[in-house]
Structure 1
Amino acid sequence: MAPQKFRQPPQAPPLFTGTPESVVKDTKELLAKSKKIIDDVVAQTSEKDASFKNVLLPMAYDENDQTLSAHVLGFYQSVSTDQALRDASTEAEKLMDEYSIEASMREDVYKLVDSALKRKEELDPESQRLLEKEHKSYIRNGLNLPAGPKRDRFKEIKLRLSQLSIEFSKNLNEENGGIWFTKEELAGVPEDVLETLKQEDGRYWLTFKYPDLFPTLKYATNTETRRKVFVANENKVNQNVPLFREAMLLRDEMARLLGYPTYAEFVIEDKMMKSAKKVDDFLAGLRGRLADGGLDEIKTLKALKKKDVESRSEKFDDRYFLWDHRYYDRLMQEQDYQLDQNLISEWFPLQSTILGMLKIFEELFGLVFVEVTGKDRDTISPTGKGDDIVWHEETQIFSVWDDEGEGGGFVGYLYLDLFPRQGKYGHAANFNLQPGFITQYGTRRYPATALVCNFSKPTPKKPSLLKHDEVTTLFHELGHGIHDLVSRTTYSRFHGTSTVRDFVEAPSQMLENWCWTPSQLKALSRHYSTLSEDYNKAWQSSNSTNSDKPSETLPDDLIEKLLKTKNLNGALFNLRQLHFGIFDMTVHEPESHKEVEELKISELYNHLRNDISKLDGPEALGEGDNWGNGQATFGHLMGGYQAGYYGYLSSQVYSTDMFYTVFKKDPMNQKEGRRYRHTVLEKGGSQDEMQTLIDFLGREPNSKAFYKELGLD
């Protein structure tokens, strides 16, 4: 970390002092104020006088102001330990969505925006983009439909879809199931994982949270244990099954009301790909290239499974199941590549790894991160109480600054919330808390952004240790956080990661490459035994047969072994992503509404997974395709990635192109790092994303590097 004394930031961080009562009250007041501003615009402006300045600007300034409170009001449902506060936050989001739908379908406002667009004023590019996007959003919200039953039905659908999305997400966040296992049934699961599990009468309660789920699927030697865990996880929120089905039906009906042949066409029209056919062709082409590789990988893994089960005098079933894959993928790393991920994790204690990552961002982008602790929190808190600027005692907060070369100014706030708890968002994600923008007075508002993750908690003997794939996940989400922090847009609408969905992952996916670079793996790593004398003693007691003291940073031989596994079973990994992407497109582009009504969604999800990934599920045991409801756990398809999950793969094309073209030879090139910051990250969604790529690459992006990386060129 760059040396930096604590400085008083020019802007206070957001407060997290909401109560169940205040959250709903504040939301209603916020929306009433917003409605009055729009009502005043309508009352004071005629169509012939409508302009960007008197119609769009007041609404844009109101949107800017709204986001300063709205994001936090909706954030409590993902992080609060208080059930009542989570429920109030969910209600607040519902109210905000309902208001947004109401406002987006106001014909009186649409007529003014339409007139402002037709005025053809000379505007700066970002303002012109705001005007065009706003105009198009009214059309996409049904205002090209005649007033009456069709438009009323469209509005009903929008409101119901909002309710379904909120309920679906809440069910996932509140999920608290699990399975009791004996120690024998959990044979092979690392002891430090077992130590964190609830115990009762000699049995262990295994939840479906990632720190429990993934190690069990990777290490449990008992096939039946892995099968039980896998199938139960696919069925952990079956109350979402009817919600998902209803959403598919409503989305299809909505698209057809607007004159689109499918919901996918409606969504993708506004993205980089532009058409569903282009997406389908992209996914089909990738599937064709990956299919043979996937079968070859399964053949090798199946041979490994045969050898493993027969070594235990068990009968080989000549199958390779979904619950086999994490186990034998890990075993292959250990046996064929002599790579032990548990051993690797000893060099990636969570806190020192985070500091190493922040140091990379400091050097590459010209930033300085200063952790705010103790009395310094009181100093920057608007209330004078440091507890008021965090939502949980485990939350870390950093003030972020430009280094001297970038001007030394304030950038924003970064929050980290890293461990699982009941009611908390269950995956890893970046949440914007307050966007940056230019105020109506010409001053800049600075952003605040939060990483919400679920890594294993430290134990008395060990700190939280990250497997390499968790290191990559953390770096990816931090990449979103940096995108959020360094963005410099005029309007909050375009700030940071507010880009089209088939581009938004590209900047973070590109940064994942730093986790596969020898010099950066060295820089990120530090053996946990060097962190404190207590940890050193704990390491020595658990390694009594090994007298050699571990090196402080990850040894070269382990780095070499790790790098050899970068694309190990890569075809199967990408076929898994293809399953998600193709399922998403399949449910969103049936030729008729009747076909949507007749969709057997769970069967389709499971059938496609088997057909695309070639991994067997319970259907191979004669249980049919209706054994699980994975779509009910698939939050992306209810939370913004519907008819857009392909974006993870298309973004990978762009990210690999950027890395190979600019950074592969010298990942820590500071000149290029700063150029990337200012050319790509700073722009957010303020200009066409293809233009952003062209500006950075000096040409249009292509797939060559992507296929080369996968060995498919």
Structure 2
Amino acid sequence: MAPPQYRKPPQAPPKFTATPSSLIEDTHKLIDRSRAVQDAIVKDINPEKASFANVLLPMARDDNKMAIESHIIGFYQAVSTDQKLRDASTEAEKLLDEFAIESSMREDVFNLVDAAFKKSESLDPESRRLIEKDHKGYIRNGLGVPAGPMRDRFKEIKKRLSEISIAFQKNLNEENGALWFTREELDGVPEDLVASLEKGSGENSGKVKLTFKYPDLFPTLKYAKNAKTRQKVFVENENKCNKNVPLFREAIILRDEAARILGYSNHAEFRIEDKMAKTPKTVDDFLSDLRTRLAPGGEKEIQKLLALKQEDLKSRGDEESDDGHYYLWDHRYYDRLMLERDYSLDQQKITEYFPLQTTIRGMLHIFEELFGLAFVEIVGEERNEIADSGKGSDIVWHEEVQVFSVWDDEGEGSGFVGYLYLDLFPREGKYGHAANFNLQPGYIDENGTRRYPATALVCNFSKPTPKKPSLLKHDEVVTLFHELGHGIHDLVSRTTYSRFHGTNTVRDFVEAPSQMLENWCWTRSQLKALSHHYSYLSSDYEAAFKESSGASEKPEERIPDELIDNIIKTKHVNDALFNLRQLHFGMFDMTVHEPSSHKEIEALKVSETYNKLRKDISKLDGPEVFEGSNDWTWGNGQATFGHLIGGYDAGYYGYLSSQVYSADMFYSVFEANPMNGKEGRRYRHTVLERGGSQEEMQTLEDFLGRKPSTEAFYKELGLTK
């Protein structure tokens, strides 16, 4: 039962009661209403009378209202179990995107925005940022191009790119490929996983079905002793969505054409112009410098891992398999083996201390202490009481979803903050990675009343079984904390306009707040606090643990110091190879979006480029080395690279560059005491609340008291000169 002061939020949670037909009907209503707002402005206002208040503000308020419904309309395609509802959500998103393109290219509206912009009215800083961003947005959407064939072509491209993005992500969400293996072929894979896999019949009798979902894929690559099994899983995973191959190629060609129509040299120049980096050269120099610093470490790590592989094969009497190569499908396996052998890191033992639900509660407690929040799970009858309809089932999209009301604690005023949803397990048709989705943004409405946000974490952790709850590996603990960090950013943001709410920042900053919070998962006191051995959760789990382990007593309730030491010691093991992998993604992104000519991008062999760059940067071998085949077309990794179609185009470097900011913030402010509530609240108010409502560099400088530095980043990676 929720404490009395947190029992009745001032705003009901959103409803998830849509049908395929209602989604389309509601989408048309939203579009019609929004178009009517724009038409009325054009009808009633001329350029002489145009101002922020009569042109920009009505549209901003309409954007606020539209976001309350449109985000959820598009969300169904990522989480619904109903194929028809997912399809309708996809169709609705197409309609919304087409309308957004139409709106962004209305010259009659732009003329009024331009007139208001040029009047340079005295506005509050966030409203000034809004008019500047909107004005620039119209130009970046083609209205700086003279009316005629070129502008028409630009509009066609924008529409087609929207269609590609939606189709690409739909293909990823609905990917349902799998491989059939015998138990012998899966030797070494945790028995819990193997036992949970679908059993085959007929031609697959005696085999089990392994999907490419994370809970199946990663343990297999980490634990399968059979290199042929790992190879097959790895290569098939790289080819699991080959229908996206032509879509990816079409997207990068169209983006380049559109950028050149606008007068840019390439798409990267267009995209990076309004980010923190400002120019492709800044990005290229950063990535190149990092590659130069990381490459020697990567080579050394490969030599150590190759020696371990050779030793492992010899110990198994399998020297014939030693061909002197260290393959892409070897890496997760031997990285794990090295951690176990040299650092006594038993991942299976560690998972026992991180049951999903107690880990989540521990994480939420950290956020409560650090940021002055209170999380109250809404369950049972409380869902009925809080739902507008009186039906608790209406406020979630699936029975497994958890929902929390989030509040300020007494020190922060005890006010309502918003709603947090957790959708944690894989299912057919669901988004396949881990991500935070804004369901409803926060903003200030026309009456000066705050509208509260709702945000969702969509993840794919292993499901509980009768003998074990869902257990997290340490890297999954880090992932969960990272995504929760995005969720907190979304919840505590305090902006006037939904346009700037929460994680609506430039792409090369948006990851920094969550990356900074990852450090808590490498801190001794926090690992101890988060841990809770699963045998303490119930008598059934206790009995199952004793049966499987042969132990007569339960272990310590909290993770032992020795295991914590082992985890912390491994933070930078094979770190160069991990960051070279990120560099591969970032440099591939820049390569396909920074051609010297349009002919160059049209002629680019995308899959070969992806695979060759990976080899050049990471030095890990793929099938191209077999019998001197030199075949670089064996995989189509770009077809599963949803980031580059879903908004990180010419922006993936942000995962690395924002680490500069996250390291600087953590080591400057939180390293001495990660649970410093005073600094946590200052961080909340100075960084997280601002969202994208001011220049992100200004936000950083406000918090750090100076310009950011790369020193902590390179020191953390052991790369100081």
Q: Same fold (TM over 0.5)?
A: yes
| 2:483 aligned with 1:488 | no
| 2:597 aligned with 1:592 | yes
Of 406, 410, 417, the residue aligned with 1:411 is 417
8 A contact 2:6–2:407 mirrored in 1: no
| Equivalent residue, structure 2, for 1:583 | 588
| Equivalent residue, structure 2, for 1:14 | 14
Instruction: Give distance in 2, aligned partners of 1:619 and 1:607.
Output: 9
| 2:704 aligned with 1:700 | no
1:219-245 Cα shifts (integer Å, max 9, x gaps): 000000000000000000000000000
Instruction: Between 620-629 and 584-593, report the one with greater CA deviation.
Output: 620-629
Instruction: Give distance in 2, aligned partners of 1:578 and 1:10.
Output: 46
Instruction: Give distance in 1, aligned partners of 2:323 and 2:426.
Output: 37
Structure 2 counterpart of 1:608, one-letter code: L
Of 313, 316, 321, the residue aligned with 1:312 is 316
Of 532, 550, 564, the residue aligned with 2:569 is 564
| Equivalent residue, structure 1, for 2:116 | 116
8 A contact 1:426–1:454 mirrored in 2: yes
Structure 2 counterpart of 1:443, one-letter code: T
Cα deviation, residue 543, structure 1: 1.2
Structure 1 counterpart of 2:343, one-letter code: Y
| Equivalent residue, structure 2, for 1:534 | 540
| 2:473 aligned with 1:448 | no
| Equivalent residue, structure 2, for 1:658 | 665
8 A contact 1:4–1:368 mirrored in 2: no
Identity score, percent:
71
What secondary structure does 1:665 align onto? coil
Q: How does 1:262-301 map to 2 (within 5 A)?
A: 262-301=266-305
| Equivalent residue, structure 1, for 2:73 | 73
Q: How does 1:124-273 map to 2 (within 5 A)?
A: 124-200=124-200, 201-273=205-277
Structure 1 counterpart of 2:171, one-letter code: N
Instruction: Give distance in 2, aligned partners of 1:145 and 1:590.
Output: 22
| 2:655 aligned with 1:648 | yes
Structure 1 segments, 4+ long, off by >4 Å, are 1-6
Structure 1 counterpart of 2:348, one-letter code: N
What secondary structure does 2:277 align onto? coil
| 2:468 aligned with 1:462 | yes
8 A contact 1:4–1:370 mirrored in 2: no
Instruction: Give distance in 2, aligned partners of 1:192 and 1:651.
Output: 37
| Equivalent residue, structure 2, for 1:506 | 512
Cα deviation, residue 317, structure 1: 1.3
Structure 2 counterpart of 1:648, one-letter code: Y
Cα deviation, residue 207, structure 1: 0.2
| 2:99 aligned with 1:99 | yes
Structure 2 counterpart of 1:590, one-letter code: P
Instruction: Give distance in 1, aligned partners of 2:152 and 2:6.
Output: 55
Instruction: Give distance in 2, aligned partners of 1:2 and 1:283.
Output: 49
Structure 1 counterpart of 2:534, one-letter code: Y
1:316-354 Cα shifts (integer Å, max 9, x gaps): 111100000000000001000011111100000000000
Cα deviation, residue 4, structure 1: 6.8
Cα deviation, residue 702, structure 1: 1.1
What secondary structure does 1:454 align onto? coil
Structure 1: any 5+ residue segments left out of the alignment? none
8 A contact 1:2–1:362 mirrored in 2: no
Alignment TM-score, normalising by the size of structure 2: 0.98
Cα deviation, residue 547, structure 1: 3.6
Distance change (3 Å), C-alpha of 1:691 and 1:310: same
Instruction: Give distance in 1, aligned partners of 2:220 and 2:585.
Output: 23
Cα deviation, residue 487, structure 1: 0.1
Cα deviation, residue 2, structure 1: 10
| Equivalent residue, structure 2, for 1:631 | 638
Structure 1 counterpart of 2:282, one-letter code: K
Cα deviation, residue 304, structure 1: 0.3
Instruction: Give distance in 1, aligned partners of 2:481 and 2:668.
Output: 21
Structure 2 counterpart of 1:511, one-letter code: L
What secondary structure does 1:560 align onto? helix
| Equivalent residue, structure 1, for 2:387 | 381
Instruction: Give distance in 1, aligned partners of 2:598 and 2:625.
Output: 31
Instruction: Give distance in 1, aligned partners of 2:266 and 2:182.
Output: 50
Cα deviation, residue 3, structure 1: 6.5
| 2:430 aligned with 1:430 | no
1:415-474 Cα shifts (integer Å, max 9, x gaps): 000000000000000000000000011100000000000000001100000000000000
What secondary structure does 2:48 align onto? helix
What secondary structure does 1:228 align onto? helix
Instruction: Give distance in 2, aligned partners of 1:182 and 1:557.
Output: 37
Of 329, 333, 338, the residue aligned with 1:332 is 338
What secondary structure does 1:49 align onto? coil
Cα deviation, residue 548, structure 1: 4.6
| 2:578 aligned with 1:607 | no
1:88-112 Cα shifts (integer Å, max 9, x gaps): 0000100000000000000011110
What secondary structure does 2:196 align onto? coil
8 A contact 2:74–2:90 mirrored in 1: yes
Q: How does 1:23-102 map to 2 (within 5 A)?
A: 23-102=23-102
Instruction: Give distance in 2, aligned partners of 1:292 and 1:264.
Output: 29
| 2:376 aligned with 1:370 | yes
Distance change (3 Å), C-alpha of 1:3 and 1:513: farther
Cα deviation, residue 202, structure 1: 1.6
Structure 2 counterpart of 1:576, one-letter code: R
| Equivalent residue, structure 2, for 1:477 | 483
8 A contact 1:2–1:369 mirrored in 2: no
8 A contact 1:17–1:388 mirrored in 2: yes
8 A contact 2:535–2:554 mirrored in 1: no
8 A contact 1:2–1:359 mirrored in 2: no
Structure 2 counterpart of 1:292, one-letter code: P
1:143-183 Cα shifts (integer Å, max 9, x gaps): 01010000000000000000000000000000000100000
1:641-694 Cα shifts (integer Å, max 9, x gaps): 000000000011100000000000000000000000000000000000000000
8 A contact 1:369–1:401 mirrored in 2: yes
8 A contact 2:542–2:554 mirrored in 1: no
Instruction: Give distance in 1, aligned partners of 2:552 and 2:526.
Output: 28
Structure 2 counterpart of 1:90, one-letter code: T
What secondary structure does 1:98 align onto? helix
Cα deviation, residue 78, structure 1: 0.1
| Equivalent residue, structure 1, for 2:622 | 617
Cα deviation, residue 198, structure 1: 0.5
Instruction: Give distance in 1, aligned partners of 2:399 and 2:229.
Output: 35
Cα deviation, residue 549, structure 1: 2.5
Cα deviation, residue 195, structure 1: 2.0
Structure 2 counterpart of 1:611, one-letter code: D
Instruction: Give distance in 1, aligned partners of 2:487 and 2:426.
Output: 19
8 A contact 2:546–2:553 mirrored in 1: no
Instruction: Give distance in 2, aligned partners of 1:533 and 1:119.
Output: 71
8 A contact 2:16–2:396 mirrored in 1: yes
8 A contact 2:168–2:244 mirrored in 1: yes
